[in-house]
Amino acid sequence: MVKVDFKIEKNDNRGIYYSETDRCLIYLPMHETLEDLYKTINHEVIHHCLEENGEAENMDELQEESLIFFIQWADTAL
């Protein structure tokens, strides 16, 4: 089960997923809207799903980020 924690400190990242602990950190100051925050949470949870499914080991970081981008924008593109 993935855990999501929120931080109120500024960070270069908007969010980050740690596969070792199944935990996502979401940095609140890096978001301008609630919708933006939801997108980051979904983004990090997708990282978790790819890791759990074993797909993450078949991709490098850039491929994984691109796939997540396309997943999140698929409904808009269609």
Any idea where the domains of the chain sit in the sequence? Answer: 3-77
Q: What whole-number distance in Å separates Cα of residue 6 and Cα of residue 76?
A: 27
Q: Are 47 and 71 in contact (CB under 8 A)?
A: no
Position 78 pLDDT exceeds 80: no
Query: How high is the pLDDT of residue 74?
Result: 82
Contacts 24+ apart (CB under 8 A), 37-41: 39/72, 40/14, 40/15, 41/4, 41/15
pTM (2 decimals)?
0.87
